[in-house]
């Protein structure tokens, strides 16, 4: 990555830059479509769980275990979104859209290769892994569901890559449409294939997996078409792929810390019976939904901060960090209030079984308490990801898992603290993460300006792009900021 000395300006030495004048309307233009994309999956998963729950506790537990494994596999590769967005946003901020899209091409190649390898791996290990997590009773239905669901993993990864480059160039409405269409198709097919409605075969639990794969395939195809329409080179660029994998390594290690915690939590919950693991998974779905809703503000932070740093504007990046964190905290407080007031209707909607509802109620207050803190954490995660500060996030997350989450989870297993013990571990995990990201952003080491220092597929061999000169790098950004300023003045 280029440095200030290589040509990008240090805006702290000058007056307030125009790019700092970003209107609320423009921020909402990034937040709302991102919210639609991020909310679609957890809402669908809650719906999917509610459909399957009607077939019995064992099916719900099988979906919980199989779904958790599938999610852990695909979420290890979220660098295809977050890493690609960070790199593409810097190119976009420097006025180089073509280079930003080429980041998406390379991420798409990675998605195809890794996805195919993962499908084969899951077919081999489905039985032993599901039995280890769910036991002899829950393992077999979980494995049956997982083998079918795994066929959709390459499609999920293609969608992750597509979301990444499109966020980077601030094209966020089309991804929302793609994702909503895919999940809508799955939502129609799920009850048909699970319960045999409308003349469809009654497949039970595995019908849920087939519905998922069909919707995921449709979404992935739309992202591929959007990439082809950009008419950039589709050749693999090893230098860019290596750079993406380097950033991906840190994000994968960070994600592994998350997954070690949540897999451990599910394994411990399984020891308390099907009702406990089902309840844990339902509350975890709501937590995931909450995290992704908050992540809509983090997406705006990542995109705008990355563009500001790509244009050489440290001052704008810092101002955006504070502003978007305030947005996220207010959003989180509103959600926490809704969860607190709506506890009984939500539990009644999600669980028809009394034991499952009782277990969910036992951890609900812990879930509500941690939501406002998560508002700070997710916003600043977005800021640091936009800045490409993946190494620090990796270390901070590993520390939070080792010191906070994992010890309490396993003490819960030893002393029989049940779901409240597991969710106390999550509270500690989020609190420690909040301390680490606030400390980092208050400093200045994350404010590295410039564009990614790798050759593009269309560059001469060995050519190293550098940060553009200030007037050239931020022309498009300044133009948009001036339009935003006029909108604010009219308002």
**Residues 324-335 pLDDT 10s:** 999 999 999 999
Predicted confidence at residue 68, as pLDDT, reads 79
Q: How far is CA 108 from CA 101, 104, 160, 226, 323, in A?
A: 11, 6, 9, 12, 33
Share of the chain above pLDDT 70, in %: 87
What local confidence, expressed as pLDDT, does residue 138 receive?
Answer: 87
Q: How far is CA 185 from the centre of its chain?
A: 22
C-alpha 352/C-alpha 360 separation (Å) is: 12
Which ranges of the chain have pLDDT less than 70? 1-23, 351-352, 453-491
Torsion of CA 265, 52, 181, 349, to 10 degrees: -80
Distance of CA 283 to the CA centre of its chain: 18
Query: Residue 21: what pLDDT?
Result: 58
State residue 333's pLDDT score.
Answer: 95
Please give the model's pTM, rounded to 2 decimal places: 0.73
Amino acid 227: pLDDT: 95
Report DSSP state, residue 459: S
Q: What is the pLDDT of residue 235?
A: 93
Domain residue spans in the chain?
20-455+464-484
Residue 143 is inside which H or E element, if any?
helix 97-149
Would you state the pLDDT for residue 352? 66
Of the chain, the percentage scoring pLDDT greater than 90 comes to 31
């Amino acid at each position: 990555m280029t440095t200030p000395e290589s040509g990008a300006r240090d805006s702290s030495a000058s007056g307030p830059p125009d790019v700092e004048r970003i209107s609320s309307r423009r921020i909402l233009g990034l937040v709302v479509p991102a919210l639609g994309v991020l909310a679609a999956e957890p809402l669908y998963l809650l719906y999917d769980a509610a459909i399957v729950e009607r077939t019995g506790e064992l099916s719900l537990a099988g979906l919980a275990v199989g779904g958790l494994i599938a999610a852990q596999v695909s979420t290890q590769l979220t660098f295809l979104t977050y890493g690609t967005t960070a790199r593409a946003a810097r190119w976009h901020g420097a006025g180089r859209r073509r280079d930003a899209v080429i980041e998406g091409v390379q991420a798409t190649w990675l998605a195809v290769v890794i996805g195919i390898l993962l499908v084969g791996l899951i077919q081999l290990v489905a039985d032993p892994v599901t039995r280890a997590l769910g036991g002899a009773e829950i393992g077999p239905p979980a494995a049956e569901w997982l083998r079918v669901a795994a066929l959709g993993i390459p499609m999920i990864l293609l969608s992750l890559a597509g979301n990444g480059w499109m966020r980077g160039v601030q094209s966020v409405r089309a991804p929302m449409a793609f994702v909503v269409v895919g999940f809508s198709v799955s939502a129609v097919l799920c009850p048909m294939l699970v319960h045999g409605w409308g003349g469809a075969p009654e497949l039970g639990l595995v019908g849920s997996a087939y519905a998922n794969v069909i919707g995921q395939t449709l979404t992935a195809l739309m992202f591929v078409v959007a990439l082809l329409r950009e008419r950039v080179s589709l050749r693999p660029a090893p230098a860019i792929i290596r750079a993406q994998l380097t950033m991906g390594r840190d994000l994968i290690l960070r994600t592994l810390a998350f997954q070690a915690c949540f897999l451990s939590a599910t394994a411990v919950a399984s020891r308390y019976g099907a009702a406990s693991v089902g309840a844990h998974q339902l509350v975890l779905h709501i937590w995931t939904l909450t995290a992704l809703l908050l992540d809509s503000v983090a997406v705006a932070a990542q995109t705008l901060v990355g563009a500001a740093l790509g244009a050489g504007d440290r001052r704008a990046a810092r101002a955006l960090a504070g502003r978007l964190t305030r947005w996220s905290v207010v959003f989180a407080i509103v959600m926490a209030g809704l969860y607190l007031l709506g506890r009984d209707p939500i539990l009644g909607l999600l669980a028809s079984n009394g034991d499952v509802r009782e277990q969910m109620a036992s951890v609900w207050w812990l879930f509500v308490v941690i939501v406002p803190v998560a508002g700070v954490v997710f916003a600043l995660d977005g800021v640091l990801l936009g800045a490409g500060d993946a190494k620090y996030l990796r270390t901070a997350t590993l520390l939070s898992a080792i010191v906070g989450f994992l010890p309490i989870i396993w003490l819960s297993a030893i002393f029989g603290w049940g779901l409240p013990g597991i969710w106390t571990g999550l509270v500690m995990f989020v609190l420690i993460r909040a301390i680490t990201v606030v400390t980092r952003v208050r400093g200045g080491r994350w404010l590295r300006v410039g564009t990614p220092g790798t050759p593009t597929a269309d560059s001469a061999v060995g050519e190293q792009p550098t940060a553009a000169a200030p007037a050239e790098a931020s022309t498009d950004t300044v133009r948009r900021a001036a339009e935003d300023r006029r909108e604010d003045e009219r308002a």
